[in-house]
Amino acid sequence: MEHARHKRKGKRASKGGAVGVSTALHSMLRDLGIDRTVARYDVINSWPDIVGEKIARVTVPERVDRGILFVSVTTAAWRTELTLNRTAILKKINALVGSGAVKDIRFR
């Protein structure tokens, strides 16, 4: 009897107490108040994956400041093209790192 009771308690504790590493890490970053900062760095590090190699060769993501991603572009023609596609790029960014990490993009 005693053995069965301990077994049940152990099952309950492990069922509700186990948390994945990813979940724990995200929770810790949120608790520290740096989850958005980390997400913004992910945007810069993942830029080629977001826009593709062709666009990555003619752009440099410089920084994210107050939710605005600043991107240096090699030519005016590319700047115009990217500005026209800003909404699609923002959707890709927010799908990758979470909604609200980047609110706008400035190509310069």
Give the list of residues 6+ apart from residue 13 with CB closer than 8 angstroms, or none: none
Q: Which residue has the tokens 């152990």?
A: 10
Query: What is the pTM for the complete model shown?
Result: 0.67
Tell the CATH topology of 2-107: GMP Synthetase; Chain A, domain 3 (3.30.300)
Tell me the pLDDT tens digit for each residue of 45-104: 889 999 999 999 999 999 988 889 999 999 999 999 999 999 999 999 988 887 777 899
| Spatial contact of 47 and 61, defined as CB atoms under 8 Å apart | yes
- Which token pair is 6? 């301990």
DSSP state of 62: E
Q: What is the DSSP string of 69-91?
A: EEEEES-HHHHHHHHHTHHHHHH
| Domain-wise residue ranges, the chain | 2-107
Most confident of 14-23, 27-36, 64-73, 92-101: 64-73
